[in-house]
């Protein structure tokens, strides 16, 4: 699938620069510590919060609930409000609200909806929500709460859904969720997790085709990062070339959609190769980039911008007056 990758990256880069100009945003929300010679990110401005704590009914093989343990727990509406007030008081700009899934693949957001709306009304924070699978009712409720973006990992392989997500739904459930989010008017930024199927490509292209039918505000490409203690801890991550191939395919299929390389991807030295290929693909944004990728972008005379928000806000950064062509 990655045959002729250089030519594919060149075509992707050409399309991206033609549509968006020679521009790139580097994101560093305060999910993890990040600093280099180019960019020193705050650890307070945009943390991640779990409304289920460490609890998750699915226990996906690539995560097993461990990612939730890195987030601020806020398992009641009152706690979530208190956490967000603290973020605001400390000068923060917003947060990612996530959580473990119910057996049907949704995140239990219902009892938090009124507080999410209150946070938007009273605190004015930027709120990005990992929704899991949604129906029309939930999508409309999130729109009423005026969230800033809905995030959804989209899986294009039935086998991957069942084996890796431990989830008993069809691929069509993701199409239904995308349709609900699109019709609600919420800014939505689907994610593609490259190599989820034991480090190999399986269903990524199908997922991109589904996403492209619903005209998202942005697309984020992430990659399997085997975590210690999970059932697939010993699996090799997908090659950097596979990640670059998916980035380029996303651009060719959605030439008018901002595309980002997201925060979940393997660490060094794998990350260095991935990030450099992403810049060569003309990607619009990279979360937590290696310094060499920033150097490469500068050498290509790209206009650079740095942000402490989540990379899902790429659609905002490409419509604001200060970053237009």
> DSSP label at 237?
P
How far from 8 is each of 181, 205, 222, 281, CA to CA, in Å? 31, 15, 19, 8
Structure confidence at residue 319 (pLDDT): 65
Segment 292-318, tens digit of pLDDT:
999 999 999 999 999 989 999 998 888
Beta bridge partners of 129: 97, 150
Q: How far apart are CA 72 and CA 80, in angstroms?
A: 9
Which pLDDT score is estimated for 311?
Answer: 92
**pLDDT number for residue 324:** 44
C-alpha 234/C-alpha 168 separation (Å) is 25
Phi and psi angles of residue 58, each rounded to the nearest 5 degrees, phi first: -85, -40
Q: How high does pLDDT run on average in the chain?
A: 94
Domains of the chain (ranges plus CATH)? 5-323 (3.20.20.70)
> Up-side HSE of residue 304: CA atoms within 13 Å toward CB?
18
pLDDT at res. 321: 45
List residues bridging with 40 in a β-sheet.
Answer: 35
pLDDT digits 0-9 by tens, 121-139: 999 999 999 999 999 999 9
- Local confidence band at 44 (pLDDT 50, 70, 90 cut-offs): confident
- How confident is the model over 47-65, as a mean pLDDT? 95
Note the pLDDT of residue 316: 87
Which of 38-42, 94-98, 179-183, 238-242 is predicted least confidently? 38-42
């Amino acid at each position: 699938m990655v045959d002729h990758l250089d030519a594919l990256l060149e075509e992707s880069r050409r399309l991206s620069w033609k549509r968006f100009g020679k521009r790139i945003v580097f994101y560093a929300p305060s999910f993890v510590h990040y600093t280099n010679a180019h960019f020193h990110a705050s650890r307070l401005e945009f943390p991640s919060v779990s409304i289920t704590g460490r609890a998750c009914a699915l226990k996906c093989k690539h995560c097993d609930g461990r990612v939730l343990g890195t987030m601020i727990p806020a398992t009641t509406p009152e706690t979530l409000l208190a956490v967000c007030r603290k973020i605001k008081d400390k000068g923060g700009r917003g947060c990612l609200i996530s959580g473990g899934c119910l057996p049907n693949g949704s995140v239990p957001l219902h009892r938090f909806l009124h507080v999410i709306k209150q946070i938007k009304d009273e605190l004015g924070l930027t709120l990005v929500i990992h929704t899991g699978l949604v129906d029309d009712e939930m999508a409309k409720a999130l729109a009423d709460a005026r969230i800033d973006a809905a995030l959804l990992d989209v899986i294009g392989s039935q086998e991957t859904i069942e084996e890796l997500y431990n989830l008993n739904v069809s691929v069509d459930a993701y199409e239904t969720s995308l349709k609900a989010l699109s019709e609600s008017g919420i800014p939505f930024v689907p994610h593609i997790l490259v190599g989820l199927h034991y480090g190999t490509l399986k269903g990524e292209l199908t997922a991109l085709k589904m996403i492209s039918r619903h005209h998202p505000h942005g697309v984020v490409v992430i990659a399997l990062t085997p975590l210690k203690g999970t059932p697939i801890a010993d699996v090799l991550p997908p090659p950097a070339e596979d990640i670059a191939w998916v980035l380029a395919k996303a651009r060719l299929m959605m030439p008018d959609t901002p595309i980002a390389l997201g925060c979940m991807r393997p660490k060094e030295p794998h990350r260095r190769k991935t990030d450099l290929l992403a810049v060569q693909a003309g990607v619009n944004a990279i979360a937590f980039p290696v310094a060499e990728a920033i150097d490469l972008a500068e050498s290509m005379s790209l206009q650079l911008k740095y942000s402490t928000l989540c990379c899902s806000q790429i659609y905002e950064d490409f419509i604001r007056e200060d970053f237009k062509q």
